[in-house]
Amino acid sequence: MNETSLQRKTLLLLLAFVTIAFIWILIPFYGAIFWAVALGILFAPLQRKLLLKFKGRRNLATFITLIACTLIAILPVIITTTLLVQEVATLYSDVQSGKINVALYVAQLQSLLPRQAMEWLDQFGLSSLDGISDKVAKGALEGSQFFATQVFNFGQSTFDLVVGFFIMLYLLYFFIRDGQSMVRLIRNAVPMAEQHKRLLQIKLRRVVRASVKGNLAVAVVQGALGGIIFWILGIQSSLFWAVLMMFLSLLPAVGAGIVWAPVAVYFFASGMVWQGVVLSLFGVFVIGMVDNVLRPILVGKDTKMPDFLILISTLGGMAIFGLNGFVIGPLIAALFLSSWGLFSGTRRKVRLPADRIQH
């Protein structure tokens, strides 16, 4: 082994060690760092436009961009979270005190079922719904208790959240201001062909924008519309159900229908026909159509992955990374497909601002 080879291996070993150590010390704040990067990517075009408007005054353009990001993306999340904490605490109190009697609702639904439905349930051993009523009531109590526990934990970790929030804002300022130079630095350090690095960079940027700007915007709109129709129809804890529909809207193929469809069925079974009709029509033609109308505008059809892959990667990402996983999961899946596409030599065409990367 010559001296040059030994020095290179020593340098690679040192590089691997310090990289692992650096990632290790960043892990406690990975959420703040991740969202600073994601929001930096999302609001970078605005900063570039402001930079032209203010004739190269970079700090001023970045500061105004940061204010816009706070008002558009961050402040609504803080307000919604605060209201949700209060709503969940009230919901848990109502279920625990018996003000919301889930077992009674199940019993009412049982009495309204036709004979054929009861015979169908009897084939599966479900004709006696007394035990099911108890299980549903117990599950509702445990579910509300879980949310209440999360609220309590949220209050206990307020200091950590505040620290993480200000770290995110601090990093976001520099990511918006110096993002392009940071990207060039990383690209120069990665030992890959320039067109491959360009392809992966575009894929990463598109997936982040699709997940944050597209999927999250669609989820917020669907959740808001669901909460409004629930409030109009007099359904209790409409804010809670709105937030739940928002989260479920992040999942393809299932979406907010998991929440509003059973409620519509309950309305029909309870004889509240007009409420059931209104909720069904609103759910299908308003909430359901939001995805088909907004997503192509905000995301674009050429950035979509198969629905099954988005579903699995979103669920897996949220299981590992928590709420951050709805972006991290699809991002990893997209980079996985792109990396294997590069490796196998079968790459899709990617539209670039000035040129195209050919297959």
Secondary structure of residue 214 in the 3-state scheme: helix
pLDDT value of position 228:
92
Domain count, the chain: 2
Selection from 20, 334, 344 nearest residue 208 by Cα: 334
Residue pair 134/82 in contact by the 8 Å Cβ criterion: no
Tens digit of each residue's pLDDT (9 = 90 or more) over 277-291: 999 999 888 888 887
Q: Are 335 and 203 in contact (CB under 8 A)?
A: yes
Last residue of a domain, one of 189, 213, 238: 189
Torsion from C-alpha of 232, 236, 237, 243, nearest 10 degrees = -50
The answer to whether residue 97 sits within a structural domain is yes
Are 155 and 255 in a shared domain?
no
Same domain, 139 and 184: yes
* Final residue of a structural domain among 189, 218, 251: 189
Tell me, what's the pLDDT at 142?
A: 56
**End-of-domain residue from the set 189, 204, 234:** 189
pLDDT in tens, the chain (359 residues): 566 778 788 888 888 899 899 889 988 888 888 888 888 888 888 998 998 888 888 889 999 999 998 888 888 877 877 777 777 777 667 666 666 655 566 666 656 666 666 566 565 555 454 554 555 555 555 555 555 555 555 554 566 677 888 889 999 999 898 888 888 888 787 777 777 788 778 877 777 777 777 777 888 888 889 999 999 988 877 888 888 888 888 776 667 888 888 888 878 877 788 988 999 999 888 888 887 777 666 655 555 677 677 778 888 887 888 777 877 888 888 778 777 777 776 444 444 444 444 43
Predicted local distance difference test score (pLDDT) of residue 229? 92
d(CA 191, CA 272): 65
Tokens of 288: 């359901």
- Cβ 165 vs Cβ 81: under 8 Å: no
Residues 226 and 170 in one domain: no
Pair 208, 160 in one domain: no
Query: Has residue 278 been placed in a domain?
Result: yes
Check residue 347 and give its pLDDT.
45
* Residue 164 near residue 29 (C-beta atoms within 8 A): yes
177 and 250 assigned to the same domain: no
Based on the fold, state whether residues 235 and 92 are members of the same structural domain: no
Give Cα 57 to chain centroid, integer Å. 34
Q: Tell me the C-alpha distance between 210 and 219, whole Å.
A: 12
Q: CA–CA separation, 223 vs 242, rounded Å?
A: 5
pLDDT at 358: 42
pLDDT of residue 310: 76
The range of the structural domain enclosing residue 256 comes to 193-359
Q: How far is CA 335 from the centre of its chain?
A: 18
Q: Are residues 204 and 352 in the same domain?
A: yes
On whether both 152 and 207 belong to a single domain, the answer is no
pLDDT for position 278: 92
Quick one: how many helices (H) and strands (E) in the chain?
Answer: 16, 2
